C-alpha cells in the first residue's frame, strides 16, 4: 500500500515529462478500488480516455418535421423522428 507521503511528492509523467501531484481524494480512490497510482499526468490520462471513444460521425439528413437539410448524428434511415433545432424548439415549446 502506498503511504500518504506520496501526497508531498512531485511526480513526473512517464509520457510527457510534465510534473504533477496526487490529491488526497485521488489516493483514497485508488486505494479503495485497488488501482495502481498513475504514472501519467492527468491531462495525458484524460486524452487517453478521449482517444478510446469512437469518433462521432455526422450525417447529412432531413428534418422529420420541416424536411430541411440538417447535420445529425443519426442517419436518414433512423427509426425515430429527428428534428432541426428550430423544429425541436417549436415542437417542445410551441
- What confidence category does residue 2 fall into, taking pLDDT thresholds of 50, 70 and 90? confident
Q: Is 74 exposed, middle or buried (0-12, 13-18, 19+ CB in 10 A)?
A: middle
pLDDT at 73: 93
pLDDT at 12: 98
pLDDT at 92: 93
Q: What is the average pLDDT across 20-25?
A: 97
| pLDDT tens, position by position, 38-88 | 999 999 999 999 999 988 899 999 999 999 999 999 998 999 999 999 999
Helix (H, G, I), strand (E, B) or coil at 54: coil
- How far apart CA 14 and CA 42 sit, in angstroms, is 12
- What confidence category does residue 1 fall into, taking pLDDT thresholds of 50, 70 and 90? confident
Amino acid at each position: 500500500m502506498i503511504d500518504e507521503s506520496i501526497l508531498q511528492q512531485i511526480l513526473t509523467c512517464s509520457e510527457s515529462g510534465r510534473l504533477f501531484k496526487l490529491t488526497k481524494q485521488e489516493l483514497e480512490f485508488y486505494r479503495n478500488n485497488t488501482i495502481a497510482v498513475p504514472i501519467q499526468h492527468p491531462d495525458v490520462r484524460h486524452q487517453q480516455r478521449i482517444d478510446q471513444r469512437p469518433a462521432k460521425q455526422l450525417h447529412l439528413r432531413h428534418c422529420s418535421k420541416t424536411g430541411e437539410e440538417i447535420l445529425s448524428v443519426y442517419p436518414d434511415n433512423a427509426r425515430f423522428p429527428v428534428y432541426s433545432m428550430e423544429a425541436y424548439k417549436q415542437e417542445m415549446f410551441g
